[in-house]
Chains A and B, each alone.
Chain A
């Protein structure tokens, strides 16, 4: 599983199946009212990570240029550019020295921990938050538009959007990309120490079972209600966006009464703690799990005993997006930077750092030309077949309940 190099046949996701996945989820089925219900947790996103040792040589893209027909427009800008994003989510050069050198803007980056934190920040500052770029997860975008928190792009300043694979454009939450453009997307699986857990794990059912047996008291789950509860729905073949009270009750009964006592931590970025030796199995976003390999090696551990398993039979799909908030002090620079980030060389450099697919066209060609040494590619790129099992989150009234389940689990685990 932990192939150190990309397999020859690159597992780039197939645009078609991805597109279907994303657009099937009707966020706004119930019309505008539903948009308002959006709630919580988020999922998403995030992530981060770290760059680390793996990616930090990431500057390699600087020298080579991808072949083919790409738009590489760079609009100069000036002044300060403030971005509000998930922890450690860009190559430090791209939000630092390189941006200064190529665009003429000075970057300032602040971090939030959930989409709700982002929305609260924007909503309570009456358009004076001072941020120029924010990075919400897809399903949260409609409510942000409705609340007047993000502004329309000036598309003429984003010519490089033509570099993005059409599969990642025109998503349900923003059908003509008036407000948002894909930053990157990812999924969820788990990561375990095969020297401790000797049986072969294949899906979420195995995951839950191991956590309650061999790995009891030594496993971690994501710290967001819907994603964490998603495991139970996916393992049992239910739709994780369900609002059916009976299913939610079953989910709660299992997770709170039977499962919670086995959980060591609710940790959305387990890579560091994994390397510290805190867990023998962790539910994780793919990019963070990939970081864990580097962390473990750094700590003198043996990464080869760790195995990554993509969630099955179904699992999550999320996409984070660049948006410009209403009242952004420097929208020109924001457009210039986003446009610059869509240049393939920059985009791939960023990908090497955070380990998530940035959604450029012809990704397999880009990787082979720009980052032939990319490690653990199977944790970034997925086959068509795999993508067809991905499910996107919807914002439903059930989210309150899922957060409540998480809180109850925490109380139970600590009791």
Chain B
């Protein structure tokens, strides 16, 4: 194309390059940068309990920082780092064979099954799964007694609960999925021909893996390590629920400064230092990552001679045996081993979920202690008022009728089959209306005991926050990929900061910020009185949960677009499309799968959000994790298991719906996983 055309014929977006990112920039300034800046300032203040917010900024001092630099902080920090590094490495070791198996060794159908099995557990409440680990780890539990009966362990039972080991196991469990996904995507992208070429050239399986596959999977490994290591460092919930005195982590220590000690200045200083330290660790590992291959390069001649020797041997062997049978004989055991390993890992991922379901039928008063008399009483509470049962019955009946009608129409009418697809949804709509107007129905569905409100609030909050995250993340992702510039470095730095900031710091920043802006006309009103039918508490949850989620969506969309060149958009512009139209008709379809995947990921993250939500929620906007986190401090009743299962079922129903839409749009499981993992 000529310069003349591109200059005159193409209509370009006017305004600054970052125009599309402006909503995100405003959002992050308003709800991240400024509030966090206050917390950073707090770290130079002094504690003053007599104020409404217990910080005196009258005389700034660096004393908090020197206070942090004592033994305690470093010890806990070292323990945290050790747990995180070990857990990251274990996730990599455990997850790599699974990802490899899914990427290379199974059919497309099984691949989808394995990926679904990896993703599904993350749609069960993170907190209840962590609590559920107490069940098999309890020294007096059934599992422990069984182990000691068969003589594997001594009389005293399993001595793992309330140790670093318990935290270690649960952390590996909680983050394994976030490692497997990006690994799978990276492996899946590798051109099979590269591996075949390697083998044709005589490299063995091991040499191919280390010489070809692993290096090509590098970006996936980095993504996996970042996705697991960073949140582990700030993890607060796992250590609190399972850790005891020996499993203390830095996240809980910072949180206790803010809540128990009310020493916000010291807590802020700790959080600032922690962010710095995590960044430092990342920089150092990045350096190592670049140095090691070069070091390995030094040994290249040696490796080459080894490879040559092996090649000669295998050529000789092939000549003797004929290559085909030999290969099959060698491959099968490895494949077997990998499938067994994958099965074991998947079982591992579903253990807590099985326990949650089992213990929701516990007849006792405590979720973790199986009282030996199974009972449906906790489930019974769900249907106590009868309104839930009646509502479900109406639903089932109407949808059943709709499906029957669909059958009949399909059998004897000449309507085009496509229009029949609407019968199901229309039946669903009628069911909604029959069950009262949509709003009433919505209230009724959750009108069981107090837990119903928590579930409803969880969905309201997570849904709203996801919408915000997808819009903000989508726009800024496009801007980053298509209009990079100096601004994009600043912006990426902010996104990265959002990812590494410990949640408790965000929480304190936001909660004090909301208090500061309470009197500002419009803004304050929104958070005090709410928007329309949604309370102020829900608005606060939207903001709080949207931060991390929008950062994740931004990265996913950017990665997706970066892989596609700009020629389509350019062509649209050349053909006279306005920027708005080109965006709607070209860019949006290109990123739709990234938006859906990002939305899904945001939704799970928001649904599980406990720390920020605990601080910003108000009466009437308490979400499930907030309520459950409160309950974990005393006795968790089996009813929470019921709630978690209900939450899970509703989420899965929504997921199945999304999956059908995705399938209709022709995405393969690999592509979905790819976008989910952001690469």
Q: Which of A48-97 contact B (CB under 8 A)?
A: 48-53, 56, 80, 82, 84, 86-88, 96
Pick from B51, B71, B453, B515: contact of A126, CB under 8 Å: B515
Contact B256 A403 (CB under 8 A): yes
Contact A82 B368 (CB under 8 A): no
B-chain residues with CB within 8 Å of residue A275 when the two chains form the complex: 140, 366, 369
Contact A130 B618 (CB under 8 A): yes
Given contacts A56-B365, A130-B537, contact A116 B164 (CB under 8 A): no
Q: Which of B107-153 contact A (CB under 8 A)?
A: 134, 138-141, 144
B-chain residues with CB within 8 Å of residue A272 when the two chains form the complex: 366, 368-369, 635-636
Residue B679 is within 8 A (CB to CB) of chain A in the complex: no
Question: CA A340 – CA B511 in complex, angstroms?
Answer: 34
Contact code string B255-271 (vs A, CB < 8 Å = 1, else 0): 01111111100000000
Residue A267 is within 8 A (CB to CB) of chain B in the complex: yes
Question: CA A413 – CA B72 in complex, angstroms?
Answer: 11
Residue A146 is within 8 A (CB to CB) of chain B in the complex: yes
Given contacts A275-B140, A403-B260, A413-B246, contact A110 B619 (CB under 8 A): yes
B-chain residues with CB within 8 Å of residue A109 when the two chains form the complex: 450
The winner among A126, A407, A412, A414 for most chain B CB atoms within 10 A is A414
Shortest CB distance A234–B (Å): 21
Contact A52 B365 (CB under 8 A): yes
The winner among A110, A265, A295 for most chain B CB atoms within 10 A is A110
Contact code string B544-577 (vs A, CB < 8 Å = 1, else 0): 0000000000000000000000000000000000
Contact A113 B50 (CB under 8 A): no
Question: CA A295 – CA B637 in complex, angstroms?
Answer: 12
Pick from B162, B364, B537: contact of A278, CB under 8 Å: B162
Contact code string A368-379 (vs B, CB < 8 Å = 1, else 0): 000000000000
A-chain residues with CB within 8 Å of residue B73 when the two chains form the complex: 411
The winner among B51, B164, B366, B449 for most chain A CB atoms within 10 A is B366
Contact B369 A276 (CB under 8 A): yes
Question: CA A109 – CA B262 in complex, angstroms?
Answer: 24
Pick from B47, B164, B619, B627: contact of A400, CB under 8 Å: B47
Contact A276 B49 (CB under 8 A): no
Contact A295 B260 (CB under 8 A): no
Contact B262 A39 (CB under 8 A): yes
Given contacts A128-B536, A276-B134, contact A114 B259 (CB under 8 A): yes
Given contacts A130-B537, A411-B76, contact A269 B259 (CB under 8 A): no
Question: CA A114 – CA B262 in complex, angstroms?
Answer: 11
Pick from A107, A404, A414: contact of B246, CB under 8 Å: A414
Contact A411 B49 (CB under 8 A): no
Question: CA A132 – CA B619 in complex, angstroms?
Answer: 9
Residue A153 is within 8 A (CB to CB) of chain B in the complex: no
Shortest CB distance A375–B (Å): 15
Shortest CB distance B273–A (Å): 15
Contact A298 B161 (CB under 8 A): no
A-chain residues with CB within 8 Å of residue B248 when the two chains form the complex: 410-411, 413-414
Question: CA A50 – CA B633 in complex, angstroms?
Answer: 12
Shortest CB distance A287–B (Å): 10
Residue B484 is within 8 A (CB to CB) of chain A in the complex: no
A-chain residues with CB within 8 Å of residue B245 when the two chains form the complex: 260, 263-266, 409-410, 413-414
Shortest CB distance A144–B (Å): 11
Shortest CB distance B544–A (Å): 13
Interface size on A (CB < 8 Å)? Answer: 90
Residue B372 is within 8 A (CB to CB) of chain A in the complex: yes
Given contacts A276-B368, A400-B47, contact A414 B259 (CB under 8 A): no
Shortest CB distance A282–B (Å): 12
Contact B76 A271 (CB under 8 A): no
Question: Which of the segments A117-125, A182-190, A357-365 contacts the partner chain?
Answer: A117-125
A-chain residues with CB within 8 Å of residue B47 when the two chains form the complex: 400
Shortest CB distance A288–B (Å): 8
A-chain residues with CB within 8 Å of residue B244 when the two chains form the complex: 220, 264-267, 278
Question: Which of the segments A29-37, A200-208, A316-324, A342-350 contacts the partner chain?
Answer: A29-37
Contact B619 A131 (CB under 8 A): yes
Question: CA A40 – CA B528 in complex, angstroms?
Answer: 28
Shortest CB distance A226–B (Å): 10
Across the two chains, which residue of chain A brings its CB closest to B530? A128
Residue B615 is within 8 A (CB to CB) of chain A in the complex: yes
A-chain residues with CB within 8 Å of residue B71 when the two chains form the complex: 408, 411
Q: Which of A271-328 contact B (CB under 8 A)?
A: 271-273, 275-278, 288, 291, 294-295, 298-301
Contact B619 A130 (CB under 8 A): yes
Question: CA A86 – CA B453 in complex, angstroms?
Answer: 19
Residue B304 is within 8 A (CB to CB) of chain A in the complex: no
Across the two chains, which residue of chain B brings its CB closest to A122? B52
Across the two chains, which residue of chain B brings its CB closest to A294? B365
Contact B450 A107 (CB under 8 A): yes
Shortest CB distance B259–A (Å): 5
Contact B511 A38 (CB under 8 A): no
Given contacts A265-B162, A410-B253, contact A128 B618 (CB under 8 A): yes
7 tightest A-B CB contacts, nearest first: A36-B50, A111-B630, A87-B634, A277-B140, A130-B619, A265-B244, A82-B619
Task: Report 30 cross-chain contacts, Cβ distance below 8 Å, ordered by A residue.
Answer: A35-B50, A36-B48, A41-B260, A46-B634, A48-B635, A49-B634, A49-B635, A50-B365, A52-B365, A84-B619, A87-B635, A88-B635, A96-B449, A108-B450, A110-B626, A113-B633, A123-B52, A131-B619, A263-B245, A266-B244, A273-B162, A277-B144, A278-B161, A278-B244, A298-B365, A298-B366, A403-B261, A414-B75, A414-B164, A414-B245
Q: Knowing that A50-B635, A52-B366, A276-B369 touch, tell me 20 more A-B residue pairs with CB under 8 angstroms.
A: A48-B635, A50-B634, A51-B365, A53-B371, A82-B620, A107-B450, A121-B615, A124-B515, A126-B528, A128-B536, A267-B244, A269-B634, A278-B161, A299-B369, A400-B47, A407-B253, A407-B261, A414-B243, A414-B245, A415-B79
